[in-house]
Structure 1
């Protein structure tokens, strides 16, 4: 066996060993990562949104900063927290929420997506977080097209202009704070599928401070009256473009790992079933703005933290939670949700073998 691909894999994926072993010993700790949707407030009207039915509703039910403090005090140590929404930067106490996870849970990575509309707030809060948080901060900028295509999908005129304004502001911050990571997330759908090659090229040539450009498929309960998912054949053409663009990349993840994950998604689309075990659903809970807890954003609610004395451990070990995890283990669902599937790849010997070989 050629050992060079193996050494290259470990060299370019230093977090894999830690990630793998923390899963092996997960019984000593119920979860390690957390997805927390802190608000339903959003100033976008995206046709791709899987939370569109609750946006800008039930605002009075949102968890307060004091309640979030209670929750974080009972969770224990966490490695990563993804703070979403709605638009997370619409909460003016966002830096204080990050402070709670830093102080009470010792998180080393915080990831926050944004629609880029409230540039002033985004830049101000990002800088506040960077000054106080010594771990890695990942800001995800949404980009679904160039110019009017982006505005059409996001439902706000002038959004593309705001995207550029926000990007350039964050790029300046990145020069001062090296631990700031910038990534772009683009959702592929019928409206923009023909523009994806142009968008990939645009990001590569015009946005040099972007660390990674991720392409997502539609997921969840999006408004099927307004938008359609791409076909497997259309998605395969996009993967081929990505592979061509990245064939000379020095970055191992971009050149090898990412295209293989995309090939897995394609396979899931074609076969419509779970192809590798969903380990993430066992140790990455989802909390929504009202305190409801899920094993995954696409599964049913387990319960509400207010009914469990704000103790995520209690709700995670409830009968209903265990039943849902058993259902997932029986492969009664499938998805291409990258927040779960990408880490699942690192816990799959079959997929690790493919990455080492450099071929799906």
Structure 2
């Protein structure tokens, strides 16, 4: 079992499989993109399988596959097939922009990989095109609706961007009204590859909630797991739910149970902090099992208590892009 230096049990791994993405969302990276990792810098599929197996042996029972866009990686299904058969792993989930998932939906369902987070920051076609800098609206919504029809547990993640999509908060809730999905609104974070600088936000979790409740006063607050990053609600008459994730305000740090490993092997114990170790060379060396376990345990044993504490020790974190951090 992995327990950090603040007595928090770590059982959730966010495993990035690539830093590449086929969209260019303007809050994530500059229009020209970022300097992506070279192929030899990335963990191979076999190495990702081995890392996953080692982490499950250490007590990880939930793995979320992230990127970049995970399905940019051509051999992703090979990893997912391995994870589906990994004893001790209770939950496999994916975060995706839903552009490339379509051909894999049937097999994902067969494998039991039915927890899918879809990153979607606009329900209006033109806003979607402007934010993503790509014309993929029809494809994304086709795949989103197919996931819903096939009975996947779908969460739609919408980052609230001041001056860009705040007028879409209420229309976005139409998805939760018509379908049994969870629409979750996230505070904007500063991981955009240096394309924008800010140290505060206007649209924090309070303002987002006030906006929703002004339109839908008949609601109830739902009970959420202690480790949940979202505060969740149910609007009367809606098939689904909505949630708010205070990702910039960081009110959930006290119960954090997450560990990140990037596509290059960086071990990250907090989004707002620098990598604590890199396991790529360790996994490629002799005695890799013990070396990787030791590095991860050491990283977790030297963990910041909150995102604010982590940020104090790493001022340059905001030059990173979320696609390189791992979602």
- TM-based fold match above 0.5: yes
Aligned to 1:163: 140
1:185 and 2:142 correspond: no
Instruction: Rate the CA distance shift 1:330–1:89 in 2: closer, same or farther, 3 A.
Output: closer
Aligned to 1:10: none
Count of aligned pairs: 288
* Preserved contact between residue 96 and residue 117 of structure 2 (Cα < 8 Å): yes
**CA positional deviation for 1:82:** 1.0
1:49 and 2:25 correspond: no
User: Take 1:161 and 1:61, find their aligned partners in 2: how far apart are those partners?
Assistant: 34
Aligned to 1:103: 85
Instruction: Rate the CA distance shift 1:301–1:228 in 2: closer, same or farther, 3 A.
Output: closer
Q: 3-state DSSP class of the match of 2:301?
A: helix
**CA positional deviation for 1:43:** 0.5
Instruction: Rate the CA distance shift 1:185–1:55 in 2: closer, same or farther, 3 A.
Output: farther
Q: 3-state DSSP class of the match of 1:89?
A: helix
Aligned to 1:112: 94
Cα distance per residue 1:110-166 (max 9 Å; x no partner): 221211222xxx123232122123xx6211122212111111111112x22222111
* Preserved contact between residue 183 and residue 210 of structure 1 (Cα < 8 Å): no
* Preserved contact between residue 253 and residue 307 of structure 2 (Cα < 8 Å): no
**CA positional deviation for 1:55:** 6.1
Larger RCO: Structure 1 or Structure 2 (Cα < 8 Å, ≥ 6 residues apart)?
2
Aligned to 2:254: 278
Aligned to 1:292: 266
- Of residues 240, 243, 246, the one that matches 1:265 is 246
- Of residues 122, 142, 149, the one that matches 2:127 is 149
Aligned to 1:89: 71
Q: 3-state DSSP class of the match of 2:155?
A: strand
Aligned to 1:322: 301
Q: 3-state DSSP class of the match of 1:116?
A: coil
Q: Which has the higher strand share?
A: 2
* Preserved contact between residue 294 and residue 301 of structure 1 (Cα < 8 Å): yes
* Preserved contact between residue 273 and residue 311 of structure 2 (Cα < 8 Å): no
Aligned to 2:275: 301
**CA positional deviation for 1:87:** 0.6
What pairs up with 1:237-252 in 2 under 5 angstroms? 237-244=207-214, 247-249=217-219, 252=222
TM-score between both structures, scaled by the size of structure 2 = 0.73
* Preserved contact between residue 79 and residue 106 of structure 1 (Cα < 8 Å): yes
Cα distance per residue 1:201-247 (max 9 Å; x no partner): 44245xx3341000011224215545878844675442113234555
Bigger mean CA offset, 289-298 vs 227-236: 227-236
- Of residues 54, 60, 64, the one that matches 1:74 is 54
Instruction: Rate the CA distance shift 1:330–1:204 in 2: closer, same or farther, 3 A.
Output: closer
* Preserved contact between residue 196 and residue 238 of structure 1 (Cα < 8 Å): no
TM-score between both structures, scaled by the size of structure 1 = 0.67
Aligned to 1:313: 293
Q: 3-state DSSP class of the match of 2:137?
A: helix
- Of residues 30, 41, 60, the one that matches 2:40 is 60
User: Take 2:108 and 2:77, find their aligned partners in 1: how far apart are those partners?
Assistant: 5
- For structure 2, the residue ranges without an aligned partner over 5 or more in a row are 225-229, 234-241, 313-327
Q: Which has the higher helix share?
A: 1
Cα distance per residue 1:260-304 (max 9 Å; x no partner): x988939x74xxxx6565342xx4220111111111233111222
User: Take 2:193 and 2:216, find their aligned partners in 1: how far apart are those partners?
Assistant: 33
**CA positional deviation for 1:250:** 6.7
User: Take 1:156 and 1:245, find their aligned partners in 2: how far apart are those partners?
Assistant: 31
**CA positional deviation for 1:46:** 0.8
User: Take 2:137 and 2:294, find their aligned partners in 1: how far apart are those partners?
Assistant: 43
Q: 3-state DSSP class of the match of 1:112?
A: strand
RMSD over equivalenced CA pairs, Å: 3.8
Instruction: Rate the CA distance shift 1:151–1:253 in 2: closer, same or farther, 3 A.
Output: farther
Cα distance per residue 1:278-337 (max 9 Å; x no partner): 342xx422011111111123311122213334544211222x5533x1x336961479xx
